[in-house]
Amino acid sequence: MVKIISAAPSLAGPLLRLHFHDCFVRGCDASVLLDSTKGNLAERDAKPNKSLRGFGSVERVKAKLEAACPGVVSCADVLTLMARDAVVLAKGPSWPVPLLTRIFASKGLDLKDLVVLSGAHTLGTAHCPSFADRLYNTTGNGLVDPSLDSEYADKLRLKCKSVDDKSMLSEMDPGSYRTFDTSYYRHVAKRRGLFRSDAALLTDATTEEYVRHVATGKFDDAFFRDFQRVHDQDGQHRRAYRP
The answer to whether 182 is a known ligand-binding residue is: no
Residues 193 and 115: beta-carbon distance below 8 Å: no
The active-site residue, picked from 19, 21, 187, 237, is 21
The answer to whether 149 is a known ligand-binding residue is: no
The answer to whether 37 is a known ligand-binding residue is: no
- Cα–Cα nearest to 109, from 239, 204, 232: 232
CA distance 130 to 111: 23
Number of Cβ atoms within 10 Å of the Cβ of 235: 10
The answer to whether 164 is a known ligand-binding residue is: no
Active site residue 21: yes
The answer to whether 154 is a known ligand-binding residue is: no
The answer to whether 133 is a known ligand-binding residue is: no
108 Cβ partners below 8 Å, 6+ apart?
A: 233, 237
The answer to whether 181 is a known ligand-binding residue is: yes
The answer to whether 213 is a known ligand-binding residue is: no
The answer to whether 115 is a known ligand-binding residue is: no
The answer to whether 183 is a known ligand-binding residue is: no
Which residues are documented as binding site for heme b?
121
Binding-site sequence positions for Ca(2+): 22, 25, 27, 29, 31, 43, 122, 173, 181
| Catalytic positions | 21
